[in-house]
Amino acid sequence: MKSDTQKYGKAAQALHWSTTVLVLLMIPLGIVMTRLSDSTDPTALYRLHVALGLIVLLLTLVRVIWRFVDTPPVPLTMPPWRQLVFKTVNAGLYLGLILIVLTGLTMLIGSGMVPVPSEVVPNEIEDIPPRVAHRVLAWVFIVIVLSHLAGVISYQLKKGDTLGRMLPGRGQPGRS
């Protein structure tokens, strides 16, 4: 389950890819649900978005705890400036996930709702500062995700199998 010096362990991989799939669902869901015509009821989409957001928050908190329990593989070989960019983007991903969910929850609570998916009523969500923060953070987070993806692809093409460190069944076997 734990990582070795060359590859992330099964637990880190499962947490990473579960979060990735949920975030890749939430981004278009958030865009679509906020742009539906007045004749379409977005309630089911908002409730799904909130449910997925709560799961992402839980997974992210588990990931943060797991980083203290599990030692990640040795850093990839790269110039110091690129190592700084890598660490900054990685921290931005974690911080972004937590802040986006917290601003979403704050927006619901500030609108007088219990932050439970079944209690979310889209037309009662007020246009309060946490809503603006949630929207801005979401777009900043998209840029960070694209930066992460670009870095992974760039390293994969130029230097070697960085994906093998995070994909199940590839690269060096992790410890069990």
Q: List the chain domain ranges.
A: 10-165
Query: Please, which pLDDT band fits residue 174 given cuts at 50, 70 and 90?
Result: very low
Residue 64 tokens, joined: 């943060």
Is pLDDT at 147 greater than 50 in this prediction?
A: yes
pLDDT of 58 reads 96
Is residue 20 pLDDT above 60, yes or no?
yes
**CATH code for the domain defined by 10-165:** 1.20.950
Mean of pLDDT values over 134-148: 96
Q: What is the pTM of this model?
A: 0.87
Running DSSP on this structure, what letter comes out for residue 33?
Answer: H
- pLDDT band for position 176 (50/70/90)? very low
Structure tokens belonging to residue 23: 């975030």
